């Protein structure tokens, strides 16, 4: 499996705040310069690299003299705005030493939840790669709100990998990789060298956030690997402090943790549906509808027992089992108020109930993805 990594042409590299900012002490100039050098090596080897970088808020905190991460949204946004200036400047300076141009891309979840904006983002990133530019991507923390945020840059890295159909996601952290338990608490913990990304047992191994500077933890990296695997991307988790970590990983050297994709990649449109982080509502299904979806069929109103949330026609909603487990998501053909009126009813009754018939399905199978 490591040999497949050595054959990757397009990869996404995500680097965490602890590395970028020396654990919150300020931008790590030497680290960023060396990261640029390593990416230049990959580029010279014919690979396309996109960089997802944390660190704007942490860098802004340092510039503003704050020692603890604030909780107020406006203070977080202010720190991001201040820190983003220094972060972009540091990357531009580092990559220019190797004749590489950079581009700053700031995203919110709204940019990827809207189909047209999603395709525009994909086209822009593809164009930059074709021009030989290294895209440096971050969440747009200066305008983001709780309702539209990715939550952590591990998730953003996975979404970018899916967006550009990268073959690998490399997550650089201040840990050697994923352990069977928290090595700080369990001396018997061992490094997971290679594992299937979609194995639920991985989540039990992962702990919480590792520091007050980093927002994520190993659990977010495991979930990112699971998400990246939906588009066929393998995920490598390794220490960013390892010498020449990127060239060595790209050559297939066995260190860190490889979480490999084993399922068939989702088609592009269904991948976009699967990548929705915020959903407008939920449809609770009966056992017959759950079985029908698993068999690849559309969702009919008769199989819906309850409708949760308020949403309009075309919204992305979750499809849940009677005990609340999400098994699918899709674009609904009727609003929440209409869905409540036709729930548990056969499709032939839709026109009589609503006065019109748009579609016989509540969600057509072409607009539905199983999870």
Q: Output the pLDDT for position 211.
A: 43
Q: For the structural domain made of 2-270, what CATH number should be given?
A: 3.40.1160.10
Q: Among 2.30.130.10, 1.10.10.10, 2.10.109.10, 3.40.190.10, what is the CATH number of 279-370? A: 2.30.130.10
Which pLDDT belongs to residue 213?
Answer: 41
| Longest pairwise C-alpha distance within the chain | 70
Q: What is the pTM of this model?
A: 0.82
Distance between CA atoms of 256 and 238, rounded to whole angstroms?
4
* Angle between helix 73-96 and 29-44 (nearest 10): 50
Residues 82-92 as b/e (b if ≥16 CB within 10 A, e otherwise) read bbbebbbebbb
Q: Which two tokens stand for residue 292?
A: 């029908």
10-residue block means of pLDDT along the chain (371 residues)?
78 93 83 96 96 88 85 85 90 96 91 86 95 93 60 88 94 91 83 90 69 60 91 94 94 91 83 85 96 96 97 93 94 95 96 93 93 84
For the four alpha carbons of 282, 288, 294 and 298, in that order, the dihedral sign comes to: negative
The domain ranges of the chain are 2-270, 279-370
Rounded distance between C-alpha atoms, residue 240 and residue 19, angstroms: 7
Q: What is the pLDDT of residue 99?
A: 96
Any bridge partners for residue 171, and if so which? 14, 237
Q: Take residue 256 and report the two structure tokens written for it.
A: 């860190």
Question: Can you give the pLDDT at residue 269?
Answer: 80
Which backbone phi and psi does 118 adopt, to 5 degrees?
A: -60, -50
- β-pair type (168-173, 10-15): parallel
**Contact status, residue 77 vs residue 282, Cβ threshold 8 Å:** no
Residue 205, SS3 per DSSP: helix
Phi and psi at residue 245, to the nearest 5°: -60, -45
Q: What was the pLDDT predicted at 59?
A: 83
Tell me the HSE value of 323 on the side-chain side, using a 13 A CA sphere: 1
The two tokens of residue 133 are 């530019």
pLDDT of residue 214: 43
């Amino acid at each position: 499996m490591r040999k497949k990594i050595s054959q990757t042409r397009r990869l996404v590299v995500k680097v965490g705040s602890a590395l970028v900012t020396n654990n919150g002490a300020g931008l790590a100039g030497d680290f960023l310069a060396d990261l640029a050098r390593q990416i230049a090596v990959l580029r010279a080897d014919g690979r396309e690299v996109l960089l997802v970088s944390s660190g704007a808020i942490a860098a802004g905190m340092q510039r503003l003299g704050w020692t603890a991460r604030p909780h107020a949204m406006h203070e977080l946004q202010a720190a991001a705005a201040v820190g983003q200036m220094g972060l972009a400047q540091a990357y531009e300076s580092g990559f220019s030493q190797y004749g590489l141009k950079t581009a700053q891309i700031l995203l919110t979840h709204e940019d990827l939840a809207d189909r047209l904006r999603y395709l525009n983002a994909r086209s822009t990133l593809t164009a930059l790669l074709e021009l030989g530019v290294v895209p440096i991507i971050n969440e747009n923390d200066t305008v983001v709100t709780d309702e539209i945020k990715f939550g952590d840059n591990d998730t953003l890295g996975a979404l970018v990998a899916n967006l550009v159909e990268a073959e690998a996601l490399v997550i650089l952290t201040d840990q050697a990789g994923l352990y069977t338990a928290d090595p700080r608490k369990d001396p018997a913990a061992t490094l997971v060298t290679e594992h299937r990304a979609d194995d639920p047992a991985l989540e039990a191994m992962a702990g919480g956030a590792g520091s007050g500077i980093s927002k994520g933890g190993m659990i977010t990296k495991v979930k990112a690997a699971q998400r990246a695997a939906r588009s066929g991307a393998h995920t490598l988790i390794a220490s960013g402090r390892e010498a020449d970590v990127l060239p060595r990983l790209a050559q297939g050297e066995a260190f860190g943790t490889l979480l490999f994709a084993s399922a068939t990649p989702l088609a592009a449109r269904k991948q976009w549906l699967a990548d929705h982080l915020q959903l407008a509502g939920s449809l609770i299904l009966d056992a017959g509808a759950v079985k029908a979806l698993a068999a690849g069929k559309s969702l009919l109103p008769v199989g819906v027992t309850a409708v949760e949330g308020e949403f309009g026609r075309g919204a992305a909603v979750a499809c849940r089992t009677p005990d609340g487990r999400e098994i699918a998501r899709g674009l609904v053909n009727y609003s929440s108020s209409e869905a409540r009126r036709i729930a548990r009813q056969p499709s032939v009754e839709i026109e009589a109930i609503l006065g019109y018939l748009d579609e016989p399905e509540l969600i057509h199978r072409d607009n539905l993805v199983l999870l």
